[in-house]
């Protein structure tokens, strides 16, 4: 079974930025460890999907924000 990348560059960048913000926020929540743990887990999930450019939910819903196979880049 071949897994196809289904996350584009812009989508991966947004996910990585959100992951960084969530990791920072979870590090500041000293008095609420369960919320910090949940935010940290969500941040790592977003970071993983951004790095590997594969989102299981996108596969399930047949979404693809990446470049289509055979598509040529648009140069103006």
φ/ψ of residue 70, rounded to 5: 85, -5
Query: What are the structural domain ranges in the chain?
Result: 9-60
Residue 69: per-residue pLDDT: 62
- Stronger pLDDT, 74 or 48, i.e. the higher one: 48
Determine the average pLDDT of the residues in 59-63: 92
Residue 75: per-residue pLDDT: 53
What pLDDT, in 10s, does the model give residues 5-36?
A: 999 999 999 999 999 999 999 999 989 999 99
Q: What is the DSSP letter of 10?
A: H
Question: Which pTM does this prediction carry?
Answer: 0.81
Check: CB of residue 60 under 8 Å from CB of residue 54: no
DSSP symbols for 14-58: HHHHHHHHHHHHHHH--S-HHHHHHHHHHHHHHHHHHHHT--HHH
């Amino acid at each position: 079974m071949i897994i196809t990348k289904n996350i584009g560059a812009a989508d991966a960048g947004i996910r990585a930025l959100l992951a960084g913000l969530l990791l920072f926020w979870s590090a500041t929540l000293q008095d609420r460890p369960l919320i910090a743990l949940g935010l940290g887990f969500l941040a790592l999930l977003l970071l993983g999907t951004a790095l590997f450019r594969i989102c299981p939910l996108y596969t399930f819903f047949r979404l693809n924000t990446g470049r289509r196979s055979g598509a040529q880049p648009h140069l103006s």
